[in-house]
Structure 1
Amino acid sequence: MSKFFCGVDGGGTSCRARIVNDQGQFLGEAKTGSANILLGVELAMENIQLAIAQAAEQAGITDLSSLSVGMALAAAEQKSAWYDFMALPHPYQHITLNTDGYGACMGAFGGENGAIVIAGTGSVGIYLENGHQHVIGGREFPISDQGGGAIMGLRLIQQTLLAHDGLRSSSELAEYVLAHFNNDLDAIVSWSKTAMPRDYGQFSPKIFERAMERDELAMELLQDTANDIERLILGLNRKGANQIALMGSIGERIVPWLSPAAQSLLVQPKADAMSGAILMARGDHNLYPFSR
C-alpha cells in the first residue's frame, strides 16, 4: 500500500493541510476554519478532517488510512486539550500533535536547531536545541499572545472607546471601527462578550493599511506590536538563539518597525509550518509540548 504524509498547520483563524508522497512530491493542499484546540477539540478536528479530505481529493487518495498526519496546532501546549484531542477518533494511520510554533520551527530549519517567532492571530517564540524545545509566550488570548493580531485588535477596540469618550485623540482608524459597529457602543460591548481571537484579528489588515497613511492610532498600535515581537526575539536570543525566523501574517509585515538589533538576528525560514508538520508525520517527533 502506498504511504502518504500530511502536514496540518492550525491556528485561531484557519487550518491548512498539505499532502505529499513518500518521495516528498506535492499532491494536494486545502484550507478550512480554525483549529485552535483550546476553542474546542471537536471543532478543531472537524476543520482538520475537512481540510485533509479536500487535500486528499486533490491528490486522488480515497483510503485515508494510508495517511500519517503531523499536526501543528495552536494551544497544543495545553495538557488537557492535548489529551482530549488525541482521544478523538480519526481515520488516519497515525497522528502526531505538537504546537503550531513547533511545526513552524521544524519547517523553518528543516528539523535542525533554530528559533522562530510566529506572530499571526496569536504569537509564540520557540527555540529547538538538540531535541529540546524552549518556549516563551504563547499562552493564549487574552492573557498572552502579545504581538499577534488578536491582541492588536483588542487594543484597537480599547483605544477606539477611549477616543469616543474624549480620553485620547481620535483618528480615521477609530472612526472606521465605530462605523463597523454602526456607531453603536452597545453593539461593541455585546460583540465583545462572545468575540474570538480571529474576530479581533480581523482588524489587523486595516491597522497596517492606515499606518501606511500615517494614521496616529494605527502607527501607535503597530509600534506596540513591534515592541512585543521584539521582546520575544530578544528573549530567544538570551536563551542562545542567534538565528531567528519571523513568521506569520503579522510577523512578515512588521519587520520595518523593529529595531536594527532585532532585525540583525532574523533569517529567512527554509519552509513553512506545513512542511514542519510533514517532518513530524515522517519521524518520531512526539515531544510533549507541555514543559517550558
Structure 2
Amino acid sequence: MEMTQNLKYGEYWVGVDGGGTKCRAELFNEFGESLGQGVGGPANIARHGQLALSSILTAVKDAVTDAGLKFSDISSELVVSAGLAGAYLESSTALLEQWQHPFAELVFSSDLHTALLGAHGGEDGVVMITGTGSCAAVLQNSKVTQYGGYGFQLGDQASGAWLGQMAARQALLVADELGHDSLLWQEVSQFYNCSTPSGLVERLNNALPGEFARFAPRLFELAKDDAAAAAIVKEGAGYLNELANRALINSNMNLVFSGGLATAWRPYLAKSVAARIKPALHGPEWGAVYLAQQQLTSVDTSV
C-alpha cells in the first residue's frame, strides 16, 4: 500500500488490532512502509473499557519506540486507527469519542472491519476469526455484515474461551463421576493448579475469557485420544463449518481464516470450506490504516 500523502495529518500512521487478550500496533510511514511494532494488553473496548484505552496507548508507544523514535516528539503527528473487539456497541463508540488521547487523529471501527480490509486488500471478501473469541464477517460494497462474535457470555462458540470453559465444565462432571471417563479433570485441575472442584470454581468463577482460552491448545492435544475432549472439539468444528457456510452463501468471494486457533482448527473444517480459504494479503493493522486513509481523504476532499 502506498498511502495517500496528507500533510495535514503528518507522516506517521498507526494501525491497531485490539482483541480480548492483547492488542497489536504497527507504525507506518506515509508510503505504507512498516517502521515498528508494539503490543499492549486486552483491548476489547466493550468488556475492558478504560483498560482497553490504556492497552492501545501502550501498544502505540511500543511501536514508536520500536521504530527508534520518541513518542513525545511525534505523538501530535500520529494518526491512530484502531480495529477493536466490541467497537460496534454504542457504549463503546461513546467511550472512544470521549477519550482525551494524545494523537493527532483517532479513527476506530470493529476489529472485524479492519481484519476484512487487511485480509482482502480493501476489496470485498469474507473472514472467519478464531482466537479468544470467534466470529465471521463479510465485506461487500463497503458494507460489513457480521455473524457471531456476541461475546463470551452469549456466543463465541469454537473460540479459545469457549473451548476452555467447556473443558472446565466437563472436568467438573468427571470429578463428580457424572461425566464420561476422561482425563479432563486431571488435566484441567493440574493446568490451573487446583486439587479440588471447589478450588477450580474459585479459580475460574470470575475469570476473564483469556484465562479460559489458555487451556485451548491443550484441549486439542487431548482430543487425539480423549473422547470427552474430542466431543468438545467436534461441536466447535460443527459450529465453524456452519458459520463459514453462512458467511459464504450466495457468493464467490474468498475466505481468510485467521486468529490464534486457526491453524489448530484447520484440519476440522469441511473440504468445501477449506477449498475457499486463501491467505490474507495484509494484517488487520494495515487494514486499520487503510480505513483511516479512506475516511480522512474523503473528509478532506469533501471540504
Give yes or no for TM over 0.5: yes
Which residue pairs with 1:88 in the alignment? 99
1:190 to 202, 216, 223: 202
Q: Deviations over 1:191-240 (max 9, x none)?
A: 333111101111111112223x4232332222222112111101111253
Q: Deviations over 1:94-118 (max 9, x none)?
A: 1111111111111100111001011
Aligned 8 A contact 1:6 1:281 in 2: no
Worse-matched range after superposition: 127-136 or 59-68: 59-68
Q: Which runs of 4+ in 1 moved over 4 A?
A: none
Task: Tell me which structure has the larger Cα radius of gyration.
Answer: 2
Aligned 8 A contact 1:42 1:85 in 2: no
2:260 to 243, 246, 249: 249
Q: Against the structure 1 CA distance between its residues 266 and 216, is the aligned structure 2 distance closer, same or farther, given a 3 Å change threshold?
A: same
Distance 2:250 2:167 in 1: 32
The one-letter amino acid of 1:176's match is: E
Distance 1:112 1:143 in 2: 31
Distance 1:52 1:96 in 2: 14
Which residue pairs with 1:290 in the alignment? none
Taking structure 2 as the reference length, the TM-score comes to 0.89
**Structure having greater relative contact order (Cα 8 Å, sep ≥ 6):** 1
Distance 1:246 1:285 in 2: 29
SS in 2 for 1:284: helix
Aligned 8 A contact 1:106 1:276 in 2: yes
Which residue pairs with 1:36 in the alignment? 44
Aligned 8 A contact 2:133 2:151 in 1: yes
Give the percent of matched residue pairs that are identical in Structure 1 and Structure 2. Answer: 29
The one-letter amino acid of 1:28's match is: G
Aligned 8 A contact 2:156 2:162 in 1: yes
Task: Using the TM superposition, give the Cα deviation of residue 241 of structure 1 relative to its aligned residue in structure 2, in angstroms.
Answer: 5.4
Aligned 8 A contact 2:135 2:146 in 1: yes
The one-letter amino acid of 1:37's match is: I
Aligned length: 285
Aligned 8 A contact 1:126 1:236 in 2: yes
Distance 1:158 1:44 in 2: 29
Task: Using the TM superposition, give the Cα deviation of residue 8 of structure 1 relative to its aligned residue in structure 2, in angstroms.
Answer: 0.4
2:15 to 7, 13, 16: 7
What residue ranges of structure 1 are gaps of 5+ in the alignment? 287-292
Does structure 1 residue 57 correspond to structure 2 residue 65?
Answer: yes
Which residue pairs with 1:230 in the alignment? 241
Does structure 1 residue 165 correspond to structure 2 residue 183?
Answer: no
Aligned 8 A contact 2:175 2:197 in 1: no
Does structure 1 residue 16 correspond to structure 2 residue 27?
Answer: no
Which residue pairs with 1:71 in the alignment? 82
Taking structure 1 as the reference length, the TM-score comes to 0.92
Aligned 8 A contact 1:41 1:85 in 2: no
Distance 2:154 2:135 in 1: 13
Task: Using the TM superposition, give the Cα deviation of residue 261 of structure 1 relative to its aligned residue in structure 2, in angstroms.
Answer: 1.8
The one-letter amino acid of 2:146's match is: V
Distance 2:81 2:89 in 1: 17
2:279 to 256, 260, 268: 268
SS in 2 for 1:266: coil
Aligned 8 A contact 1:160 1:170 in 2: no
What residue ranges of structure 2 are gaps of 5+ in the alignment? 1-6, 298-303
